[in-house]
Structure 1
Amino acid sequence: MDMTTKGAGTIIAIALIVSIATQIFYMATLGGPQPSDPAAGVTHADVVAYFTERWAEIAAVWMIELAAFALIAIAALVAMTRGAPMSWAWGALALAGAFNLIQLGMGLAMFKPAATGGAELQPVLDIIVSGAFFFYFLAKALIGLAGIGFGLALWREPSAMTKVVAISSILVGAAAAIANIATLPQGMALIFPAGATGTAAALFTGLAAMLVARQAGAKE
C-alpha cells in the first residue's frame, strides 16, 4: 500500500516526538562520561568506562533514533514528491533525517572503538565526536528551516489554533536555525542552546508538518 501524504505527516510527527523523548531520556540517564575524581575532571579512563559499561543502553537509544530518523527521511520524501505545500520544507526535513542518520551511524560505528582503543586514540575520538556533532547541528538547523516553511503554509489557514501552531513553528524554527547555524563553526561551544532550540523546533515542526500534510491529503 502506498503511503499517503496524510500518513507521511503523521509518521513524521510521531518520529520527531520519539526522537525528542530519546534525547531527554539519554540526557537524564546516560548524559556522557562522568569523572571518577571530580578534581581531575573527565579522564580517558572515564571515557573508556562509559562506553564499555553503558554501551548496551547507549546503542539501544541510538538504534531507536536511527529508526525514527530513517522514517522521517522517507516520509518527507514521500510528501515532497506527492506535491505537498512547501516542497522545500519537506526537502529540508528529508535532509535533516539523512544527516541525523550519518551522525548516529558515526556514533554507533566509531565512538566505542575509538574510545577503547587506547589513550593515543583520544585525539581521533575528539575528531569523530566533533564531526558527528557537526551533522547533529546541521540537522537541527534544517528542522528549524522546515518549521519556518510549514508555519508559513499554515499561517494562511483561518483556524486560530492552526495560527498558534504556525507562529510557534516559525519563531521556534527561526531560533533553532539561527542557533545551530551559528554553532557549526564553533564546535561544541554552543551545544546547549543549539540542542535546546533544535529539540523545541522538532516538536513544533512535527505538529506543523502533520497539519500541512493533513490539509494536502484531504485534496488528494
Structure 2
Amino acid sequence: MTFTPRGAAKAVAWALLATVATQIFYMAVVAPTDDALLRKATWTAEMALFSLVFVASLPLAGRSKAPLVWSTVALAGVVNVIQVGMGLAEFGPAREAADEHVFRTVLNGAFFLYFHGKAMMGLAAVGVGLAAIRQSNTTVRIIGGLSFLSGAAAVVLNLYSMANGMDIVFAAGAAGTVATAFFALIVLVGKNEP
C-alpha cells in the first residue's frame, strides 16, 4: 500500500463522515429502541472507524503542512477508540455492580473522553476553517466559515461539558458532530493539502 498525504487525508475525511452517520443512526434508531445488538454493532463500527482516523492521521501529523491539525485529529481518534471501548467492555459489568455509583463513574469517564474527542475535532475544524477562508473558491470559503464557527462552538461546549458533566450532552455532542462533518468536507473539497 502506497502512502500519499492526500490519500490519507481523504481516508480520514471519509471515516469521519462515516462516524457522523453512525452518530445520527445511533440517536435516531438505536437510542429510542435501546436495542443491545444495534448498540454493539454501532459502537463496534465506530471503534473501527476511529481506529482508521488515528492510524491515517498519525503520519499526516509529521508530513503535512498542518501538523497540529492532524495531531489533534489523531488524538481525537484514539480518545474515541478508548471511550467506545469503555462502552463495549465496561458498561455491562458496571451496570451489574451492587453499588450503582460504579456504573455512574464508568459512564462519566466515558463521556469525559467523548467530550474531549469532540473538542479536539472542533479545534481541528477551527484550524482547517481558517485556512479555507483564505482560499479563492467561494464554496470552500463558505464551508471554511461554517467549519470555523461550528468548531469554535464545539470547543466551548465540550470544554464546558468536560468540566461540568452531562448537563448539555446533546448540544455538546451535536456541535462536535457538525464540526466533524465540516472538517471532513473541507478536507474533501479543499484544493490545498490540509
TM range (shorter): over 0.9
Secondary structure of the structure 2 residue equivalent to 1:3: coil
Residue type of the partner of 1:14? Answer: W
1-structure distance, mates of 2:116, 2:163 = 11
Q: What is the 5 A alignment of 1:1-220? A: 1-31=1-31, 54-82=35-63, 84-115=64-95, 117-118=96-97, 120-211=98-189, 215-216=192-193
Question: What is the deviation of 1:156?
Answer: 2.3
Question: What is the deviation of 1:155?
Answer: 2.3
- Identity value in percent: 39
Structure of larger gyration radius = 1
8 Å contact from structure 1 (residues 12, 210) kept in 2: no
Root mean square deviation of aligned Cα: 1.7
Q: Which has the higher contact order (CA 8 A, sep 6+)?
A: 1
TM-score between both structures, scaled by the size of structure 1: 0.83
- Runs ≥4 residues deviating over 6 A: none
Residue type of the partner of 1:179? Answer: L
Residue type of the partner of 2:139? Answer: M
TM-score between both structures, scaled by the size of structure 2: 0.93
2-structure distance, mates of 1:9, 1:207 = 11
Residue type of the partner of 1:206? Answer: A
CA gap of 1:127–1:99, structure 2 versus 1, over 3 A, is: same
Residue type of the partner of 2:160? Answer: A
CA gap of 1:129–1:187, structure 2 versus 1, over 3 A, is: same
**Deviation string for 1:80-132 (max 9, x for gaps)?**
222x22211111110000100110011111001122x25x2321011000000
